[in-house]
Structure 1
């Protein structure tokens, strides 16, 4: 098939769109990615890229077309708005010419947020009737209201109408969490379009080099959080749990990643003198994750207590499971249910930092054999439910209309 993937985020940024494009190419498909100039998460354009540099590339056999956009900067509201809509505008211009010169069999819109990434696909769909497969990883306008703090009813109603039109024009709506089905159907009768399409873990994590060079980690019982450090991940309550465990010097919190909440984390650690028990490692390439995960005793996954997040399964959960690690979770909903079903760790209610602290303390007292069995259960659940090869095979059936 001749496939166009539209996403604001692509290699060298670290998103599932990378796996999707490269794996489809490996399977013999002709894959083109329409994306932006890489600037996530720091908000600055990556070295080696620019408005006049590397706008067209071939990466692992995938044709990459990079649209202009205004970098997200520090991530303030107006700057994010400009970032989202500048990509949508310039990518739509690129999409018009791509549609003129190519006959795509299908378009996949990868939408971790924002939904404005759909506009270029909508243009091609309207002009050339190319079917669009909308991979929904973030619910709008719910996410805009909760994670973005937008409360204006006019704005929320506007985006409700926008997302309804996107759903209406989609051939299929691919959802990463089964809980999304109800929220989407509240906006219209889209049930026949909805297909469950879960996240997976990158092969470089599950099968990667455990000897990849990383900085030394502290001795002790290592509780590792890896990934985006943002509002949704509830770092406030992670830090409160760390504060409660201050006297237990053997328990070490290790944060691998970066995001908008990192200044808060650094200030909290400094103000509460948690340097001995909280290690901030920063952001590393995905190739380093296998080495980091291998040295952790348990992996930590958290989400704020909010209806939209209760419908979400964090992508990091699949990564943790693929790496055969026990999981400690402070979240509600489907993600917690997965951990319980897999019997691969511990769950406490979202926002309950006191229970999180007690649970981590209890986990630190388990034997290596008990922890290893939980890790084995993690891997088995991943193999049965979230392996990339199975997910992409299912996607091939969907977009070839054989499902």
Structure 2
């Protein structure tokens, strides 16, 4: 089958989890005998055409759409469908049979419609984020504002362009069907995030990291990924403040995002010497550091109404790290991790509970070893790339 993957960023320059997931899916499909092309934008000096692990990558130029102002990002993303279509026409010679597109962003709908009309292809929307609803929930824009209506227009085009839609969890499925008044109920299913553990196996642990930051005897809690409003990283900053009396533990935050400077200034203001904040690194560098860590951290803003499943958790599970974090109330990720014995999850804003969970993990080394085994078991049972690929192409 000729398959096109469409998203807004890709490896190797992107350091986020979603591009890694996209590539793992693409490689898995290639290994199953499919012809897979990744059609991706770039504002960097990257090759516009290359093959990575058997995946044909076509890039097209757009304006800066990452780590920039919201206005500049919007202007750039509005051009995605138009410029992607041009890049597709000029470089793709096969007849596509399946288009797999990822959201966010919400602006690929018109492109998908054009490809489907011209080639009679089918489409699968991998829906990982309910934008603009989450920014409305957090008060960043108003429900009935013109900008909200503008975003909802493109959101609906994205949904209407799909033959199948995959959301992240059962609670997300319930929420989405209610949110869309069951309009897409017959084509929407749960598609869990995925990870290919084999991609991590060749990466050697970065043992020098502990020496470099004087962490040889420390229990390392690691956070890797986006540092933005949706995460509410102050949860982790407050956790660090609460753990200052435990000199054997250290928090390492590695990432990028529009609240990086806010987190940095708060760490300095509180004089938190037990938190090290580092800018984003390559995927291989990050996983090499993760391999010498003891506990995986994550957090979600408590005002979310939808039930996000941060992709970074898959990396923790694949490495056998106990997961420590906090989520918005009602998020079924809390029960999934707690009930499987893979970690300890609380509700965002309940700082005392998060702190107590952290202390329990720090002191209970035997419990962490059991969680390591449970993490690997949960990964195999729910989050394999093989299961995801089977759903997408069926």
Q: Do Structure 1 and Structure 2 share a fold, with TM-score over 0.5?
A: yes
Residues 66, 137 of structure 1: CA spacing in aligned structure 2 closer, same or farther, 3 A cutoff? same
Residue of structure 2 in register with 1:267 after alignment? 265
Residue of structure 1 in register with 2:26 after alignment? 21
Cα distance, 1:213 vs. partner? 6.3
Report if aligned partners of 1:33, 1:63 keep a CA contact under 8 Å in 2.
yes
Residue of structure 2 in register with 1:295 after alignment? 292
Deviations 1:188-238 (A, max 9, x none): 421110122111124366534243465335232222112222221111121
Point out where structure 1 has 5 or more consecutive residues left out of the alignment: 40-44, 399-403
Report if aligned partners of 1:225, 1:300 keep a CA contact under 8 Å in 2.
yes
Report if aligned partners of 1:205, 1:322 keep a CA contact under 8 Å in 2.
no
Higher relative contact order, structure no. (Cα contacts within 8 Å, ≥ 6 residues apart): 2
Q: Secondary structure of 2:169's match? A: coil
Q: Distance in 2 between matches of 1:204 and 1:213?
A: 21
Q: Out of 47, 71, 74, which is 1:81 matched to?
A: 74
Residue of structure 2 in register with 1:110 after alignment? 102
Q: Out of 164, 187, 192, which is 1:198 matched to?
A: 192
Residue of structure 1 in register with 2:311 after alignment? 315
Q: Distance in 2 between matches of 1:371 and 1:349?
A: 21
Q: Secondary structure of 2:195's match? A: coil
Residue of structure 2 in register with 1:119 after alignment? 110
Q: How does 1:173-322 map to 2 (within 5 A)?
A: 173-185=165-177, 186-188=179-181, 189-203=183-197, 206-212=200-206, 215-216=209-210, 217=213, 218=215, 219-274=217-272, 276-309=273-306, 311-322=307-318
1:156 matched to 2:151? The reply is: no
Q: Secondary structure of 2:117's match? A: helix
Report if aligned partners of 1:229, 1:260 keep a CA contact under 8 Å in 2.
yes
Point out the more displaced range, 260-269 or 85-94: 85-94
Residue of structure 2 in register with 1:374 after alignment? 371
Q: Distance in 2 between matches of 1:30 and 1:263?
A: 42
Residue of structure 2 in register with 1:170 after alignment? 162
Q: Report the TM-score when normalising by structure 1.
A: 0.87
Point out where structure 2 has 5 or more consecutive residues left out of the alignment: none
Deviations 1:222-279 (A, max 9, x none): 22112222221111121112112223222211112222221112111211111x2001
Root-mean-square deviation over aligned CA pairs: 2.2
Q: Distance in 2 between matches of 1:280 and 1:130?
A: 45
Report if aligned partners of 1:95, 1:123 keep a CA contact under 8 Å in 2.
no
